[in-house]
Structure 1
């Protein structure tokens, strides 16, 4: 859920002082990049899975406080909506059979959490957007109990000065106004972390940006919001609009959105933090007592709390992370592209594909991002979000290509090579890349299965709301089977 804050209102003097402190942190960070010893010798991966809670009728269950008390595991935390929880998977090394052990551990943990949730009349669902969520569910007490979330909501609307317009085109266009950031709570993702050295950060981030379009086309799992069929991965556009601090006039001026793909390839992690400070005013100007200059001078590792908090309110799809563990600083690329679900094996396959391709792309003598414009990578990302497996993507050396052709001809071999480079066992690569291959060959990801199932149910005479609930029931059955989504049928 991010760092908690202590207040929901901030004075003008407080904001001015916070800006000064953030700039000071940035200066210290620049010095650290040149001088400090960062932890990276044993690359670790991490995963966060955001989940939804539903009741016995597969409607949103606003009961995360009760469910979390019952689960009683610090790995599970609140998220923005009272019907959301987040599962933080402890960091692991990549090599050997670690991923198979991780899959087993994640399934066991989620199964145990599901049993505890059942005792509170709830079920846990891993899906990009809960398809049964409707406007009336977000009209009452929808927000988790957290000063941070209330402060974030208030700061966004103070900055914006008016209600937020949600307008998403698609097969069934949705247009509405909202007086809170409640629609953002619908967006549940899985986040992948990779610890890297300062010297390697830029090439890994650039590679992640290149990969974002194909990654999203393969993994789309959010076709419905408020009962409307919209994008294959509606979460991308919904998250962008639901947290937008810009009224129309600022958009017209070219002011950047806080949910941001970026606008250029980088040469250092510093580029991203410097952009954050230069372009984005604070949303949560919470101050710490730390003097980062003094900490560094004393030979200690500064926490840079203000810079980290500021970074946490700028929602890049591939976000830079600075953190301190056991007194040692480290850097991570946080990949926020993918939705949650459909199954643990699907998410593990998405992870293996990502880490494998990322390794190979980042080590090429002539990197792919030197052969394509940044705007082409951004366009791929938006095209994949809208159309999923039906997208048309640009790829150097291939021109415009479909995701299945790109994945089968180019990316799976790159992923296999990269996993070998990480020291991942062949049986791990075979299991997870086999899932990716199956998805590419069938053209069926979570979004495709959801839409096909709802259409089949409606053709049998079900109204849309009932069809969405029944589809979600079938989805949950199959989610617990841990059979990959491309093998799912659509019969009841």
Structure 2
């Protein structure tokens, strides 16, 4: 969804032509996999972080256009909501001291961006869901001034045929109707990219799926939406509901949602793209003039524009990505599970834990997915989202146990081994995995701190709205300290 798409009305012929083109793209991808058209390369990692904008009072600042004009850096882009932007960190190898360089670079660009945003009266906050966001802030008027977002909004509502229902129950309950996909703009994530060879893709994706519930349990940072305390990582439920193209009748028929965990382990990246083509009609049937087979016959790398555009409107939590860079095609797993924040140090620690664990699981002689039903992985995912740091998960050979115990007893040693295989500097390995260990032993992540801070504010006599606002301002202050969230103290504590 990164490329511009002009506002337009799609015809029946557009949709027929698009279906033919996307099937042709799929044939071209199958040929590229069979002929090994992908370059040999070392594993690479990249990071995208979606950011919230707040004003001096901690409330949403609807001015991403002004902020981006002030930042004037192509690595920053618009996001769905006027109160959000995104920063892309260039891909790199993971070896040596690369992780420290990643943290330093991300801190530098965010600090500079925050300073430039200040010229417009805005500040940047890295959090999964902005706690001060109200229902009035998530309307069609809050969509970014970009035709692709308006067109996507129109097509999802057209496919659905009725308003979008939001129904999320946690410690408190939310029930609301939306006439736009704008509530989805509340979901801001830290997306880890893993560039891999085709033969390593299936193992990496399966491993990412297997550990996604643990990722959520450790990294949950979105307990509030529209003033209510819901899931520890409310972003998961909100994203699925706010972009759901299905009516109640289609849900009852078993039609798959566009925000999707999946339903099976895979043997090739082709399985995922084939599922996209088989199950999901086009939202944006825009066709390119490229003939991918002709490009392949000439020794080139086709863009596969239609297949990529369709893939961009199927929101898997671990998404397959095909892309061409400098004339070379490559594949990557885009891990979209984690929320943004709380600090850069936390996000880099989360990324290294993910890389280390998935590397070992993907290369195991007897992989975990051969011993874990896919439905168990999905159940772990939902438990991690709902319960956060207190979630219990199921793991082969260990039964049901606390996610934190699974990490301390089993997954942290795997992560150490995996980072050694990436040749990560041992001092950095121990530093970042030490953040994960301390988060487990303290049982404190972003969601826990937010809830405790709001309760402390309410105990001082603040109403919920004021407690959320005070918490957001304190969150922003602590975020800039870059001290990991497990060290944050609660006001008055």
How far apart are residue 39 of structure 1 and its match? 2.9
Contact 2:193 2:332 in 1 (8 A): yes
SS of 1:444 mapped into structure 2: coil
SS in 1 for 2:141: coil
Q: CA deviation at 1:299?
A: 1.2
How far apart in 2 are the matches of 1:224 and 1:138?
14
What SS class does the counterpart of residue 59 from structure 2 fall into? coil
Which structure 2 residues correspond to residues 91-106 of structure 1 after superposition, within 5 A? 91-106=91-106
**Cα distance between partner residues in 1 of 2:5 and 2:361:** 39
Question: C-alpha offsets along residues 176-199 of structure 1, whole Å, 9 cap, x if unaligned?
Answer: 111000100000001000111111
Residue 2 (structure 1) shift: 1.6
Contact 2:7 2:150 in 1 (8 A): no
Preserved CA contact (<8 Å) 2:213 2:380 = yes
**CA separation in 2, counterparts of 1:450 and 1:26?**
45
| Post-superposition offset of 1:4 | 1.5
Structure 2: distance between partners of 1:169 and 1:299: 54
Distance 1:455 1:223 in 2: 13
CA apart distance, 1:418: 0.1
Give the match for residue 82 of structure 2: 82
Question: How do 1:190-229 and structure 2 match up within 5 A?
Answer: 190-229=190-229
* C-alpha distance in structure 1 between counterparts of 2:104 and 2:301, whole Å: 36
Match of 1:252 in 2: 252
Q: Is the 8 A contact 2:138 2:185 kept in 1?
A: no
- Cross-structure match for 1:299: 299
Aligned to 2:310: 310
Q: TM-score, normalised by structure 2?
A: 0.99
In 1, the alpha carbon distance for the partners of 2:204 and 2:4 equals 29
1:367 aligns to 2:367 (yes or no): yes
Change (3 A) 1:354 1:282: same
How far 1:41 sits from its partner (Å)?
1.6
Structure 2 counterpart SS, 1:119: helix
Write out per-residue CA displacement over residues 4-62 of structure 1, whole angstroms, 9 at most, x where no aligned residue: 11233211110110011000000111001111431342211000000000000010000
Structure 2 counterpart SS, 1:69: helix
1:132 maps to 2:137: no
After TM superposition, the runs of 4+ consecutive aligned structure 1 residues lying more than 4 A away are: none
Q: Measure how far apart 1:140 and its partner are.
A: 6.1
Q: Aligned in 2, Cα 1:477/1:210: closer, same or farther, shift over 3 Å?
A: same
Contact 1:8 1:147 in 2 (8 A): no
TM-score (normalizing by structure 1): 0.99
Map of 1:21 onto structure 2: 21
- The CA distance in 2 between the partners of 1:84 and 1:9, in whole Å, is 27
SS in 1 for 2:265: coil
Once the two structures are superposed, residues 226-251 of structure 1 have per-residue CA deviations (whole angstroms, 9 ceiling, x without a partner) of 00000000000000000000000000
Quote the residue 1:39 is aligned against. 39
**Local SS of the residue matching 2:114:** helix
Contact 1:355 1:418 in 2 (8 A): yes
Q: How many corresponding residue pairs?
A: 492
Equivalent residues in 2 for 1:107-146 (5 A)? 107-139=107-139, 141-146=141-146
Matches of 1:139 and 1:207, distance apart in 2? 37
Mapped to 2, the partners of 1:351 and 1:167 lie a distance apart of: 31
Residue 120 of structure 2 aligns to a residue whose secondary structure is coil
How far residue 84 of structure 1 moved from its aligned partner, in angstroms, is 0.3
Cα distance between partner residues in 2 of 1:14 and 1:141:
29
| Other-structure match for 1:69 | 69
SS in structure 1 at match of 2:142 = coil
Q: Is the 8 A contact 1:40 1:195 kept in 2?
A: no
Instruction: Provide, for residues 435-492 of structure 1, a one-character-per-residue CA deviation record: whole Å limited to 9, x for no partner.
Output: 0000000000000000011011101100000000000011011100000000000116
CA distance in 2 between counterparts of 1:34 and 1:118 reads: 52
Name the SS for the 2:435 alignment partner: helix
Residues in 1 aligned to 2:354 and 2:90: alpha-carbon distance in whole angstroms: 18
Question: Which ranges of structure 2 fall in alignment gaps of 5 or more residues?
Answer: none
CA distance in 1, matches of 2:253, 2:2: 31
Distance 1:331 1:139 in 2: 36
TM-align CA RMSD: 0.8
Aligned residues of 1:6 and 1:286 also touching (Cα < 8 A): no
Q: Is the 8 A contact 2:140 2:181 kept in 1?
A: no
1:233 aligns with 2:256: no
Indicate the residue corresponding to 2:290 in structure 1.
290
Q: Distance in 1 between matches of 2:228 and 2:39?
A: 46
- Specify the SS of the correspondent of 1:448: helix
For the 8 Å contact 1:100–1:428, the answer to whether it is kept is yes
Q: Within the alignment, does 1:476 sit opposite 2:476 as a pair?
A: yes
Contact 1:261 1:378 in 2 (8 A): yes
Q: 2:414 — aligned with what?
A: 414
Provide the secondary structure at the position in 2 that maps to 1:201.
Answer: helix
